[in-house]
């Protein structure tokens, strides 16, 4: 992970993963925010595909360097095509009852993207060794 952190820091060039720099609604998410019970937080996603997040912030050549290291770091990955999608018995996805989603991007790692609605999580993320390593 140290090599991936080093490459990530280099390609990000000081850019931060937050809702201002990234289109969070367009990045593959890996949670079901609508199922949150707490009213303290908006129902926004918290976990996103790491590679797609980096791709949004970097040039094609920078992303190529990053992705080469990611391939060395993540030695195996797999995902289903969908997460918690039931169906109505005819193959039509049931989004309402399960609040599932399709998995279109999957790099093998997820990341947190800072959002104003999650100030406590933002602070915790900024204290993490990963965040400090990529800044």
pLDDT in tens, 11-58: 999 899 999 999 988 888 877 666 555 554 556 788 899 999 999 999
Rounded Cα gap, residues 31 and 34, in angstroms:
9
Q: pLDDT grade, residue 114 (50/70/90)? A: very high
In this predicted model, what pLDDT tens digit does every residue of 53-84 receive, in sequence order?
Answer: 999 999 999 999 999 999 999 999 878 777 76
Q: pLDDT grade, residue 135 (50/70/90)? A: very high
Residue 42: exposure state from Cβ atoms within 10 A (0-12, 13-18, ≥19): exposed
93-94 and 86-87 beta bridge pairing? antiparallel
The better pLDDT of the pair 89, 69 is held by: 69
The better pLDDT of the pair 8, 107 is held by: 8
Is residue 85 within 8 A of residue 95, CB to CB? The reply is: yes
Is residue 96 within 8 A of residue 27, CB to CB? The reply is: no
Residue 7 has pLDDT above 80, yes or no: yes
Cα radius of gyration rounded to whole Å, the chain = 16
- In this prediction, residue 122 carries a pLDDT of 96
Residue 95 has pLDDT above 70, yes or no: no
- In this prediction, residue 105 carries a pLDDT of 85
Instruction: Report the pLDDT averaged over residues 96-116.
Output: 82
Instruction: Please choose, from the candidates 53, 102, 49, 54, the residue with its C-alpha nearest in 3D space to the C-alpha of residue 77.
Output: 49
């Amino acid at each position: 992970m140290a090599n991936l952190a080093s490459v990530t820091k280099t390609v990000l060039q000081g850019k931060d993963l937050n809702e201002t720099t990234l289109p969070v609604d367009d990045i593959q998410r890996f949670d079901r925010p609508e199922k949150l019970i707490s009213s303290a937080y908006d129902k926004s996603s918290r976990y996103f595909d790491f590679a797609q997040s980096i791709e949004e912030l970097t040039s094609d050549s920078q992303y190529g360097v990053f992705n080469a290291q990611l391939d060395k770091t993540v030695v195996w990955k797999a995902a289903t095509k969908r997460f918690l999608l039931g169906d109505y018995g005819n193959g039509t996805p049931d989004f309402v009852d399960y609040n599932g989603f399709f998995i279109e991007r999957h790099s093998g790692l997820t990341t947190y993207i800072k959002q104003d609605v999650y100030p406590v999580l933002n602070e915790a993320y900024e204290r993490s060794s990963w965040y400090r390593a990529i800044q």
